[in-house]
Structure 1
Amino acid sequence: MLTKFKGMRIGGVVSVLPETEYEYDEETKHFANLQTKRLKKIMGFNKRRAAKSTTTTCDLCMRGVRYLLDNNLVARDEIGALLVLSVTPDYFIPQMSNIIQGELDLPKDIVCMDISQACAAYVLGVFQGFLLLEHLPRDKKVIMCTGDVLCRKEPEWLLSEPSFGGDAATVSVLEHDDSAGESFFSVYNDGKQREALIMHAGGFKMPRNSETAIVRDTGHGNMRSYDDLWMDGSAVFNFVQKEIPPAIDELLDFANTSKDEIDWYLFHQPNRFMVEKLAQRMKVDIDKMPSNIVENFGNSSGSCVGVNISYNLGEAAKNNSYKCCLSAFGGGLAWASAVMDIGHLRFNDMLITDL
């Protein structure tokens, strides 16, 4: 679907990152083969952040929301809705937005909503947040959180394969602004390809047990248990190269905007190779489409686009405005994109935590 909003904007972003940093060469030295060196060179793996083994999604998101409250970046009575998008919930019941609302003593008359969404979470979260803003009083804001802890571990734990995901959360303030221009969105889903990215065990269809924890060879030497995330890399790569370029062309046409008018293409970053190939296919200047998030922080799932905003726009986004194309794609399979102005942010921070 295609749609647009007017008079709404992202007022600020804080990206919350665990303090524990892992280096790819060090983490994969026990593999000691050419595959790891090839992955580092082609995929852009270098450093990543992973949460401690006991850290939860709520911990990361709550740290970000508390940061906003403690620094007077948002007031409790301004919050009209709290969204949390994640695929690693603390519990099935209650939802994480309710946990955060209670722990931080937020107003009772706010909308609390959890959305199970993986890689497309940030863009879909802004989309859902703008929908909520349409029905909130103009003095109310939406706090939109993304976060996953798919990679949490302790430093001494060895990787079972040379993968390089990362943990992170983002907290964004979405708000009314009469001076804000139009924001354009496209949203697509294809559940027929759902098994290209799947975690089999953990739900009611396949509860986790000793059998699901058994590690097996899923092909090409990839060792997985049913408790792990399974990805068909070729299928995901082909999906991205096939679906994203026409979706962006359609969205830009809908927004009456040319590719050259876009200052930044802030996309989800599974790896550098995929982003660079996507830029080539779209005929977009690679300098406008950063691929350095996965290199410095790992693939942080639904938070990747938000971390992209904090890291690559940084302080400059406080005093300047940029026409941005956001796009995120993955589990579902789902893909969502947006064309919008991002700038004159009240905050755009990177928060390193002890979680």
Structure 2
Amino acid sequence: MKTKFFGKKISGILALLPQTEYKFEDDMKFNSLSQKQNLKLKNTMGYDRHRFFKDETYLSQVAIYGLNRLFEKGLLKKEEISALVVATTTPDFLMPATANLIAGELNLSSEIFCMDTNQQCAGFINGLFQAFMLLNNEGAKKVVLITGDVICKNPDRSDTSSYPLAGDAICITVVENGENDAFFHCVTDAKDYDALVFPAMGFRKPTNEEKAKFSSSKYGGRDCLPRIHMDGQAVFQYVMQNVPKYIAQSLAYAGADKDELDYYFFHQPNKFMVDKLAQKLGVSSQKAPSNVVTFYGNSNSSTIPVCIAHNAKEQMTGGDIYKCMLAGFGAGLNYASIVTSLGKFDFCDTVITDF
């Protein structure tokens, strides 16, 4: 799907990060790899440290803290909010929507629109898509997009498949009507959904064949279903083979040459993958930051706003406008991107919370 939105603007990003931090060199003590193997992983994948919310922390709790912080600082007013969109894999409850819980706790107007969406690695981009559509309605003011998960509680530090890249973060992004056009493009390769899957805690009971498949060495060799199972090679091939051609299509649709863009803010599965993708595209590392996993881990739908806040805070809150591509890819298997202009934010910050 390709579509163009007229006159849209991101006006602020607040990245909320957990207090608890683990360093990779400490994690090494818990797995069965040699020190040499661990250090090779660290250098290749960009692992260094990552953060996890406490066991008792839940998504709406952190989002409410962040929104109250914005209210208190005068960066956002309750009466300006027309809609709440929450993109998460870890809602507070199966029902009602976590967006409803946030609106109720904050005593927001009963007239605001609330919805949850579950799009994992492309959650930020698909959340922006929902926000842009909502802003096309008469009388719409600002849409608050909340992304992120509390998926890494009580982590298994012996797991060398997915644990070293995992991390938690919850981000608040404020979107409103403005002067910038946005070109949206998404592709869903649904037949390959099982390359990255969480095969438990839903209402479908995995078959014995599925249990055997997801516990095989191909998926990390773990037989616990309530965890993420990833065929790392399949995901890597998808990003290397499919995503570059999708990005080329996105740029063509936006009428943009790749060298015209100031930034490429990609989803951050690991440093190696983002660097390889940038090389394939012929884009410099300065334009395509790849350091999010190094500092915070892979926070799923929040890696793109975390990347912006960590790498371009001064640029986004300064007086200039930057032409950017935002692209998420992974679980689904799904690709989604937006080519638009960013800058002159009201706020762009990273906060280490007590959660």
* Map of 1:168 onto structure 2: 169
* Map of 1:147 onto structure 2: 148
Equivalent residues of 1:60, 1:168 under 8 A apart: no
Once residues 234 and 98 of structure 1 are traced to their aligned partners in structure 2, the CA distance between those partners, rounded to angstroms, is 38
Equivalent residues of 1:15, 1:349 under 8 A apart: yes
* Map of 1:308 onto structure 2: 307
* Map of 2:94 onto structure 1: 92
Alpha-carbon shift at residue 217 of structure 1 (Å):
5.5
* Map of 1:288 onto structure 2: 287
Alpha-carbon shift at residue 216 of structure 1 (Å):
5.5
Alpha-carbon spacing, 1:5–1:220, altered in 2? closer, same or farther (3 Å):
closer
Once residues 275 and 37 of structure 2 are traced to their aligned partners in structure 1, the CA distance between those partners, rounded to angstroms, is 20
Alpha-carbon spacing, 1:223–1:64, altered in 2? closer, same or farther (3 Å):
same
User: What stretches of structure 1 of length at least 5 have no aligned partner?
Assistant: none
What CA deviation, in whole Å up to 9, does each residue of 1:168-220 have, x standing for no partner? 0110110012xx1311110111111110111111011139xxxx9xx965358
The answer to whether the aligner puts 1:159 opposite 2:154 as a matched pair is no
Equivalent residues of 2:219, 2:231 under 8 A apart: no
Alpha-carbon shift at residue 266 of structure 1 (Å):
0.4
Question: Per residue, is there more helix in 1 or in 2?
Answer: 2
- Amino acid in the other structure paired with 1:43: M
* Map of 1:342 onto structure 2: 342
Equivalent residues of 2:196, 2:231 under 8 A apart: yes
Q: Which moved more, 1:29-38 or 1:252-261?
A: 29-38
Alpha-carbon spacing, 1:217–1:253, altered in 2? closer, same or farther (3 Å):
closer
Alpha-carbon shift at residue 125 of structure 1 (Å):
0.8
Alpha-carbon spacing, 1:310–1:190, altered in 2? closer, same or farther (3 Å):
same
Alpha-carbon spacing, 1:136–1:37, altered in 2? closer, same or farther (3 Å):
farther
For normalisation by structure 1, the TM-score amounts to 0.93
Once residues 134 and 332 of structure 1 are traced to their aligned partners in structure 2, the CA distance between those partners, rounded to angstroms, is 27
Alpha-carbon shift at residue 30 of structure 1 (Å):
2.6
Alpha-carbon shift at residue 152 of structure 1 (Å):
2.1
What CA deviation, in whole Å up to 9, does each residue of 1:131-190 have, x standing for no partner? 11001415x11000001112123xxx651313221000110110012xx13111101111
Superposition CA RMSD, Å: 1.7
Choose the corresponding residue for 1:115, options 111, 114, 117: 117
Equivalent residues of 1:168, 1:300 under 8 A apart: yes
Once residues 234 and 264 of structure 2 are traced to their aligned partners in structure 1, the CA distance between those partners, rounded to angstroms, is 23
- Amino acid in the other structure paired with 1:149: V
The answer to whether the aligner puts 1:270 opposite 2:269 as a matched pair is yes
Equivalent residues of 2:264, 2:325 under 8 A apart: yes
Equivalent residues of 1:60, 1:147 under 8 A apart: no
Query: Kindly, what percent of the aligned residue pairs are identical?
Result: 40
